[in-house]
Structure 1
């Protein structure tokens, strides 16, 4: 009898571990956006609002807690020591770390209502004519993942660029610095670029390089998928039509969620070859 119950216990443990975090009673998530403003404490109301929304779908058996990271190293440490069930991660984070943390895309954000993002290398109006002639520092809030950013915008690793990429938490200030010649340039995403173009500052800049269409920040599942993964994706995709989610989506700065972008498969960094991305 003792041997029987030992087997039952081992089987129970096996299935709980194999099916991920949900069966253990948790659907915790992490929002990982290096370079974005705010602190964990300042973002806590937004994380709690999303957790409460999902909790209403799940019932009391499964708990949900959100975590916010706008710095890369603490985020990676958290994923190693306290891996959540799912998260919303910056494209560069996905490109560099999808394999290490078994990230499976299950939905996509839609900032500004866009299904795709575009990055722009901006310099002052009187700067050099080509990015190949640019020297100095180039800032951007998506540049903390330097290798991914260089590959996404230039198709080259960072050590083959004529300038240095550096992350910043203040892209608008960096844009003004580029216009004044204090830094070589700034990289802006689609929403940031549209915002700057609508300002008087927009007449003082020029575009030296435009990326191809890029995936927006993906919603990913960490580790082996479980029975709740598709349900979670469905709840997120349904938020756009849910009146109760309108304010929450505004706080999350996304015009709803869409299906996972199939193009994400193109953005896995190839660590073994000289090429930026695997075919």
Structure 2
């Protein structure tokens, strides 16, 4: 896996370098369309992810022309993302659904497109525990892990429809979901939450026979693409570019790096997933 990861990075560096040589002949100015990819719980760090952000920025900039400038930023820690957003808010971003739920009102997020992990704009989260564990989540005690659980209050509402303080267990964010799953199978953790991609990846493995699903969330929107603040003349152009990427052969490797099969129209139900900061209520 490490060799495969290195090969991907070598390919991406070469792709970005070639793109930059071509693009540097056309300096840009004017409108800033900087973006942030905010994915709490994803592995790696901003330095490792920056080549992907640069590639995405160059792709968008090439499509929009030299009247705009684009720079990408990546965050997998909520506190770093919030600090950045308060100081230098970008024009748009791709954000985790939990981050959207907690912060959409504060930062004026307007959905303009949806990601398509596994080809769908919706997904469901699954709570698993070991085979000998309780059959109902209300009987679970201890710690439950998942890489989508860093926004604990939002995650509790998204997964259970209950405020976090009413849960009989503690939600814990993790950057190593597979390790957490092994701990569940061994009885060293109460449970783990899997998104659709993780569920499909784990289902063929031997470890799947050692766990069981005790709760599935309602249908949830996939991570949205959002505009920060009032949309302007660039918003429709940007969403059109994103939604055309899955038909563009030049974007295929970039989409794989972004872990989405493309981008679709904004989910019309997203506004119902906004929540305030009061833990007593969900949506």
- The separation in 1 between residues aligned to 2:250 and 2:30, in whole angstroms, is 28
Report how far residue 121 of structure 1 moved. 0.6
Report how far residue 272 of structure 1 moved. 5.7
- The separation in 2 between residues aligned to 1:159 and 1:100, in whole angstroms, is 22
- Output the TM-score relative to the length of structure 1: 0.89
Q: Is contact 2:164-2:279 (8 Å) kept?
A: no
Report how far residue 202 of structure 1 moved. 1.1
| Alignment CA distance shift 1:188-1:66 (3 Å) | same
Whether 2:108 is the aligned partner of 1:111: answer no
**1:93-108 → structure 2 map (5 Å cutoff):** 93-108=99-114
- The separation in 1 between residues aligned to 2:243 and 2:67, in whole angstroms, is 23
**1:170-189 → structure 2 map (5 Å cutoff):** 170-189=176-195
Report how far residue 127 of structure 1 moved. 1.1
Secondary structure at 2:145's aligned position in 1?
A: strand
Whether 2:146 is the aligned partner of 1:158: answer no
**1:54-73 → structure 2 map (5 Å cutoff):** 54-73=60-79
Secondary structure at 2:241's aligned position in 1?
A: helix
2:24 aligns to what? none
Q: Which moved more, 1:58-67 or 1:163-172?
A: 58-67
State how many pairs are aligned: 255
Report how far residue 200 of structure 1 moved. 1.0
1:227 aligns to what? 233
1:16 aligns to what? none
Whether 2:136 is the aligned partner of 1:138: answer no
Asked which structure has the greater CA Rg, the reply is 1
Secondary structure at 1:262's aligned position in 2?
A: coil
Report how far residue 117 of structure 1 moved. 1.1
Aligned partner of 1:38 among 40, 44, 54 = 44
Structure 2: gaps (5+ residues)? 1-28
1:252 aligns to what? 258
Secondary structure at 1:99's aligned position in 2?
A: helix
Aligned partner of 1:195 among 198, 201, 204 = 201
- The separation in 1 between residues aligned to 2:62 and 2:123, in whole angstroms, is 31
- Output the TM-score relative to the length of structure 2: 0.88
